[in-house]
A and B are shown apart, each in its own frame.
Chain A
């Protein structure tokens, strides 16, 4: 019942982009939206923006315990909550090849018992601290987080410390989690967005470990407590872990609490697992159909690889993306929602991993407009690749990204997660300010350059989740190869 859902999913991506020839899309149908881009003047009595106040970057106190555990603390007194986020290096991409998605089972079972506490005790103790435990498996890390009342911080740290050092993966809990994960996989497979993202990563990353988004029925069936304990012992070692705390506490006091809770955690002598290589960049401009019988919409995604975090093009690509489809007033939304009414919530987003970044355009559209939607998305991608943004578009996109970052980082949980992600990528907290400056400094010429390099529609794979015949009939005029994926 909301006007739109915003996907807030920005961060990093890949460098081995081959040089691109400039490609002007061969459009099947001329877009009626082409001329609509000269924006009308603003109302004459609209007041101007007021003076800018500097947006402060967070003040992070960092410490490393003797055992190598990394701590980043942000003291923000006043509001009575504290966000705790722990990130552990190694996630879905580090799972054993014969057990894809094992990290997800690990994230579902890590809070299901320790030597000292049962699953129920863990849940109740955290509830009594005002929190829940949230654990998730990403491609490069496993994250564990909780937001609690500041008056109960010590109790929450005690539970967290126990889980991180002593998770025991009791057989009965693992058996139940396996069964529930199998059934929820079944349930997820009914969701078009799940199907789209699973197919997308298979297509973009082929055999590289990044292609895994979730476990399979087989891998769930094959996994057991021993596998989980083994992975846990390998990855959950203090020198491969960051703990970020943001909120209402005094740094010295919380540091003392953390030292006493984590000080006896031993790092193994063995070196941690080696980093995975970057994925190859080979994307075929073809249609990959995920059949979904009875679907009343087609979910379309156009996906490709962009510059990863640390690449000089990283921030400028964010700016180009904000102009293209990363904001409500962007070209993509203006065209296929506000002008054509094809879709409720189209968007483009950049998904960042340690070794790659995905650039994704997404729209769920009624079956009848599947073909014109692909046409318009390709048109808008190629327009970014071949034309210069207006001055207003550029300044709007830059202010949007900088402002949004400030708004996001005033939320304790978002800031904690953001800092943990930077650490996993090997970057310091100051990166937040550095990125902001680069965004603000982006020029039209630079946006043009990344547009040419990363945005041509022919660089994308097209994922279409829907009624197979509808998709084939709608998209065959594009003359692209068809493949079926699951």
Chain B
């Protein structure tokens, strides 16, 4: 069978293009190539011979956003089922083989993709490729294993949401209030009612719909040669037939016209917290890069505007976190409506109004005066450094390459992001802030510790809103 070849090659250094921008010495790329198999599976390979290891990521074009109504949390529950064995390799084989080969594996579900990742010494690559191909052919679809993983996932929700102060309200409840349609607003971790209702037929149907080679990108980074990898991938994956994948529905939101405010109590938290979410421009809009930079200008570390203003100068906050598409991904890896989220924990003797007034004053100042170009350059340097950090380990670089290819068909975006960021100007940040960081484009949830005397009723639902 002949492979359809789409190949790109890059050298390590590209020097000339960057000279017109501020003093960014690094123009780092790793040699990377791509091929598409006749069944639609896209394979990306990046060489890195610094250690005899590899990282692998296979991403599928399905995430929380498209999980069926009445089945909240299903995309993630399904991810767990991908580890529960196949007729060829029963439950347990995957972990035995990967860990026994000196490696690690995991899976991760996000709004627009679900990824499966492994990293190990290079001697374990063949068995890992075999395992990934095997679970793309069929699964065990065992009722017993579904029951087991339903329990595991419900424990995961308990440990991360129900038994934990703040219960991820800034990630679950905030989009729930900020968006109006099911794909963007529902509880992605899953209501227990929906998790309990999931049947093995749902698992089978979801698998058949979305787990097709033509809905996946496989990226491998490490001590490998591209041609060798393409041959191996063909050997293990070529016989898996392409399947029809449901066309991607529109997930756009009706426009927001007014600020949305709400309040919650939290029976586990000891100090109050505020979450603020502004709706963001589409990822491919001209404003998206300025949005990403603004998100970091406001939230990245102790040098950030909000940390300096709220924690240090006004002393109305204990901690500030956030950014665009935070906390479930980077500003460059999603495919639908998203927010710029701020999660602020604040002292009990400060009121919500005081905190929000200080927050608004800082945003107002950004809109009125804009940042200095020096501020923007500094944050961009940090973002470039963070992004390179995200490409350092083979498993993380495989992940980034796989996402860029899945969303845009172009792995090279991974290497272009640092350069694109370098072009963002202070004027663009200011214009973005003036248009998007306005009250009628935002949602605010204030969450305060529940009064002690009505403390005993355990929260029943993820998100924990009372």
Q: Do A and B come from one complex?
A: yes
9 pairs from A and B in contact (CB 8 Å cutoff) = A47-B126, A79-B388, A128-B381, A186-B270, A341-B147, A395-B100, A396-B96, A404-B104, A407-B104
Q: In the bound complex, how far is the Cα of B312 from the Cα of A183, in angstroms?
A: 15
Q: Which chain B residue lies CB-closest to A186?
A: B270
Mark A residues whose CB is within 8 Å of B: 1-4, 6, 39-40, 42-43, 45-56, 76, 78-81, 111, 119-120, 123-124, 126-133, 147-152, 176, 179-180, 183-184, 186-187, 189-192, 293-297, 327-329, 334, 337-345, 364-366, 392, 395-396, 399-400, 402-404, 406-407, 410-412
CA distance A344 to B125 in the complex (A): 28
- How far does the alpha carbon of A52 sit from the alpha carbon of B53 in the complex, in Å? 10
- Residue B423, interface by CB 8 Å: no
Q: Does B244 contact A (CB under 8 A)?
A: no
A127 and B379 form a contact (CB under 8 A): yes
Closest residue on chain A to residue B82 by CB atoms: A3
* B155 and A338 contact, CB distance less than 8 A: no
Other-chain contact of A2, B89, B106, B148, B301 (Cβ < 8 Å): B106
Tell me which residues from 109 to 127 in chain B have a Cβ below 8 Å from any Cβ of chain A.
Answer: 109-110, 119-127
Nearest-Cβ distance from residue B287 to partner chain A, whole angstroms: 23
* Bound Cα distance from A395 to B345, whole angstroms: 47
Q: Are B122 and A53 in contact (CB under 8 A)?
A: yes
The chain B residues found within 8 Å of chain A, CB to CB, are 12, 23-26, 28, 50-53, 76, 79-80, 83, 88-93, 95-97, 99-110, 119-127, 130-131, 134, 147-156, 158-159, 162-165, 188-189, 223, 267-271, 300-303, 308, 311-312, 315, 318-319, 328, 345, 347-348, 377-379, 381-382, 384-386, 388-389, 392-394, 455-459
Give the total number of A-B pairs whose CB atoms are below 8 A apart: 276
Q: From the candidates B52, B130, B270, B319, name the one contacting A47 in the complex (CB within 8 A).
A: B130
Tell me if A184 and B381 are in contact (CB < 8 A).
Answer: no
Q: Is the CB of A341 within 8 A of B392?
A: no
Contact B90 A80 (CB under 8 A): no
A52 touches B123 (CB 8 A): yes
Chain B residues, CB < 8 A from A412: 392
Residue numbers in B under 8 Å from A184 (CB-CB) = 318-319
The distance from the CB of A257 to the nearest CB of chain B, in whole angstroms, is 16
In the complex, the chain B residue whose C-beta lies closest to that of A180 is B318
> Given A190-B165, A329-B92, A344-B152 in contact, is the A403-B121 Cβ separation under 8 Å?
yes
Residues of B within 8 A of A180 (CB): 311, 318
| Shortest distance between the CB of B374 and any CB in chain A (Å) | 9
Contacts of A120 in B (CB 8 A): 303, 308, 312
A328 with B92: CB separation less than 8 A: no
> CA A148 – CA B147 in complex, angstroms?
46
Return the contact of B26 from the options A124, A149, A183, A189 (Cβ within 8 A). A149
A127 touches B378 (CB 8 A): yes
Give the residue name and chain of the A residue nearest to B188 (CB): A1
Q: Which of A183, A296, A366, A399 contacts B100, CB < 8 Å?
A: A399
Q: Which residues of A contact B97 (CB under 8 A)?
A: 42, 46
| A39–B96 touching, CB < 8 Å | yes
> B389 to A294, Cβ gap below 8 A?
no
Q: Told that A6-B104, A189-B270, A407-B102 touch, could you supply 20 new A-B pairs with CB distance under 8 A?
A: A1-B76, A3-B106, A49-B101, A55-B52, A80-B28, A81-B392, A119-B312, A126-B303, A128-B381, A133-B302, A151-B25, A176-B315, A183-B271, A190-B165, A329-B99, A341-B147, A341-B149, A345-B159, A364-B163, A395-B100
- Chain A residues positioned under 8 Å from B379 (CB to CB): 127
Q: How far is the CA of A452 from the CA of B265 in the complex (A)?
A: 49
